[in-house]
A and B are shown apart, each in its own frame.
Chain A
Amino acid sequence: MSTEPTSPPVEGAAHFVRAAFSNVSFVTGFATTVLIAAMALVSFMWTPYDITLISIADKQLTPSVQHLFGTDHFGRDILSMIMVGARNSIAVAFVAVGIGIGVGVPLGCWAAARGGWIDEVLMRFNDLVFAFPALLSAIMITAIFGPGAVNAIIAIGIFNVPVFARVARAGAMALWPREYILAARASGKSATLITIEHILPNIASILLVQATIQFALGILAEAGLSYLGLGAQPPMTSWGRMLFDAQTRMMGAPHLAIFPGLAIVVTVLGLNLLGDGLRDVLDPRLRRAR
């Protein structure tokens, strides 16, 4: 950590955009993410086929012009299902990240601002949550409240809380001793106000980077839970759910598993590239090193 007193690096939006779009990772990741998000949005208005209609006679058709990705065990169009599934996979990961930020960041900032025993208790609480194997705890949560998208969100969201709390706390801790913060304190501003005015804008970039990482992990976690049958429930679908349905039929009809699997890989890859690109662009230290 560099310790030289600096004023907050406020940068022009134009500068940021120029830097971002000359970064290969960022551009690739951004394009992929926008594409997937667009696909999910389009699915609200239009999909090639209605996925709520079951037509067993057309089951497990291999990819063709009518069905680009083929059909599943109920004769539903896999492309349409991937489009609709994107909604769920994205929504679960998105809200879970939201929970993590909404709860974790205030906690982390509070711990950093107060220090002392509050900091200690909060961080020990963090350790406690970390000590529970995440997937196992998610399974328990769905065992109690029943499987479903909402409970998957809660289960994944809970484990985002300590992650964001830790990141926010570390970022804020590094800022508190700085001169401009000390000056703000001397002028009588409250800790809350300082956090809102000075700390949050400065840790926003690391939080954003962390958010893309957790988003990607959320998609994988949703896939894992759904693969165990604990995530999205029919007639809703998700990519993990599609893999769950495909697993017993994979030998005879590999396309059932290949397309949703690829959808996951591409999305997570896109998000990670986006995160990497963002970090390169937003983190002045790394930029200096380059």
Chain B
Amino acid sequence: MKFIVPVLAAAAIALASGTALAQPRTDLVLGVVLEPPHLDPTAGAAAAIDEIVYANVFEGLTRIGPSGEVLPALSESWEISDDGLTYTFKLHEGVTFHDGAPFTSADVVFSLDRARAEDSTNAQKGLFAAIESVEATDPATVTVTLSRPQGGFLYNMGWGDAVIVSEASAGTNTENPVGTGPFRFESWARGSSIVLVKNPDYWGDEVALERAEFRIIPDAAAAVPAMLSGDIQAFPMFPPDAYEQVQGDPRFEVVIGSTEGETLLSMNNGREPFDNVEVRRAISYAVNRDEVIAGASNGLGTPIGSHFSPANAAYVDLTGTYPYDPERAKELLAEAGLADGFSATIKLPPPPYARQGGEIIAAQLRQVGINLEIQPVEWADWLSTVFTDKDYDLTIISHTEPNDIDIYSRPDYYFDYQNPAFNEVIAELDVTADEAQRNELYGQAQEILAEDAPVVFLFQLPKVGVWDAKLEGLWENMPVQANDLTKVHWTE
């Protein structure tokens, strides 16, 4: 290997002297783990769709910014009536779709009505549930009337599922997405890559990149050499287990960010013995959270004690509720009449955090007499057997939707957790708009969950972003699933 070094060094000098005059690069190859099934964010739940098109190709009335804040997008401003029921959006003018069609209030009416229609296949129909009517007041104004006040409405309108599409191209967006964003779709070599190019007619700030290629690299093992060999220059969702192989390399910027993914050891509260709160608490005591974080997220995850992101203002630190204490766990099990322990199965979906976390947790629970049989399952299988049919004992899963503590109040949710007191808090949240009051209610909800231990709260899923050290403007955190390229540029 010795002979390589001088050659590279010489090349580096040559490059360095050349780049003083050259323009910064304007192309980027970015690695993504999952290939989207299609490119219409309003017709599928796959996060992989938003990771390509969100903010790049499609825009909504509002958008979510890098820190999870609501920012104006196609709507430059809005007014909310005092009763919180009427939203009046003022739209940007002079905006066109990529096919040349002008963007007007009619498109907003069409998009929102389409999303909430009876036969809609929008994966997040819940976002639009509070909408009673959408009306175009004039070409640049839209009035949305809600049936009940909804604190998070503007946030909801910033989701990828709520982007504005044109009626003319709505049917073909799956294969040829036409939006209003700063990049337009160029090509998709299935199984390989998706290419976006700069939209010269963009209404907003000009973007620096001329061409962006999203290279699909599903295999974690392949991601490392692809990055190290320079084939790709950015990998926003780098596999955490491979973190050590890029960390410390001066060629790369390695950024540990947070996501909205609360990673849980979910328990089937409707099944014995998990219907017993003492057993659930025993399991919470028996799980060594730090070791799970060390093993399943390479030590990068942030511990959580309830279902809330530590990045959120309303977060309450409840991680101390069940410190690691196998003796206490055994006592609680004995009190529940399970002194000899018991056996159960744990179904693990494909992501490494689940598979590795499951292995560690199984080893930990064995110490208190609980024998877990590990059953790896595919996503499709997990969604039908665990999520839909509730046919499981334990599972590990990261809930990546932002602000989703209300899932514990859903009547038929896969946790099968029932607590009227908790449901009341959530119901009150839904009709509360005042920020301080909301935070207070969120705090209450978190405490109830920590106390009841319907699941074991493990950690907030980390986002390991790796990119070329000369690249700037990629998101550090992932408040929504997106690779926003609007501010990305090369420094040389």
Q: Is B221 an interface residue (CB 8 A)?
A: yes
Interface members, chain A 109-147 (any B CB < 8 Å):
143, 146-147
Does B338 lie at the interface of the complex (its beta carbon under 8 Å from any beta carbon of A)?
Answer: no
**Interface residue B469 (Cβ < 8 Å from any Cβ of A):** no
B360 & A250 in contact (Cβ 8 Å cutoff): no
B359 engages A74 (CB within 8 Å):
yes
How many residues on B have C-beta within 8 angstroms of the other chain's C-beta atoms? 32
Check if A53 sits within 8 Å of B363, measured CB to CB.
yes
Question: Which residues of B are found within 8 Å of A289, using beta-carbon distances?
Answer: none
Q: Which residues A235-271 have CB closer than 8 A to chain B?
A: 235, 247-252
Report yes or no: A249 in contact with B295, Cβ–Cβ below 8 A: no
Whether A235 lies near B295 (C-beta < 8 A) is: no
Contact mask B245-259 → A, CB, 8 Å, 1/0? 100000000000000
Stretch from B52-60, B155-163, B371-379 contacting the other chain: B371-379
Query: Across the interface, do A249 and B242 meet the contact criterion of CB distance under 8 Å?
Result: yes
Residue of A nearest to B367 (CB): A53
A45 vs B443: C-alpha distance in the bound complex, in angstroms? Answer: 53
Minimum CB–CB distance from B18 to chain A (whole Å) comes to 30
CA separation between A53 and B364, bound complex, in Å? Answer: 8
Known: A143-B378, A248-B221, A251-B245. A74 touches B360 (CB 8 A): yes
A235 contacts B245, CB within 8 Å?
A: no
Chain A residues contacting B381 (CB-CB under 8 Å) are: 146
- In contact, A249 and B376 (Cβ under 8 angstroms): no
Complex Cα gap A281–B376 (Å): 45
Within the complex, the shortest CB–CB distance from A203 to chain B, in Å, comes to: 41
A53–B360 Cα gap in the complex (Å)?
Answer: 9
Measured between alpha carbons, how far is A233 from B378 in the docked complex, in Å? 14
- What are 13 sample pairs from A and B whose C-beta atoms fall under 8 A apart? A53-B363, A54-B363, A59-B295, A73-B241, A74-B359, A234-B358, A235-B374, A247-B221, A248-B242, A250-B224, A251-B225, A251-B228, A252-B244
Residues of B within 8 A of A54 (CB): 291, 295, 359-360, 363-364
| Contact partners of B101 in chain A: CB under 8 A | none
Judge whether A249 and B241 touch: CB under 8 Å.
yes
Asked if B310 is at the interface of the complex by the 8 Å CB criterion, the answer is no
Which residues B216-230 have CB closer than 8 A to chain A? 219-221, 223-225, 228
B298's nearest neighbour on chain A, judged by CB, is: A73
Q: Which residues of A contact B364 (CB under 8 A)?
A: 54
Q: Is the Cβ of A146 less than 8 Å from the Cβ of B376?
A: yes
Check if A34 is an interface residue, CB within 8 A of chain B: no
Task: Tell me if A224 counts as interface (CB < 8 A to partner B).
Answer: no
Q: Tell me the minimal C-beta distance from B218 to chain A in angstroms.
A: 12
Q: Is A196 an interface residue (CB 8 A)?
A: no
CB contact between B376 and one of A233, A247, A251 (< 8 Å): that residue: A233
User: CA–CA, A188 to B211, complex, Å?
Assistant: 83
| Residue among A53, A56, A146, A233 with max Cβ neighbours from chain B (10 Å) | A56
Chain A window 58-93, contacts with chain B (Cβ cutoff 8 Å), 1 for yes, 0 for no: 010000000000000110000000000000000000
3 residue pairs, one from A and one from B, having the closest CB atoms: A247-B221, A56-B294, A251-B245
Chain A residue numbers with a CB within 8 Å of B223 are: 248
A257 — nearest CB in chain B belongs to which residue? B221
**Closest Cβ of chain A: how far from B160's Cβ, in Å?**
28
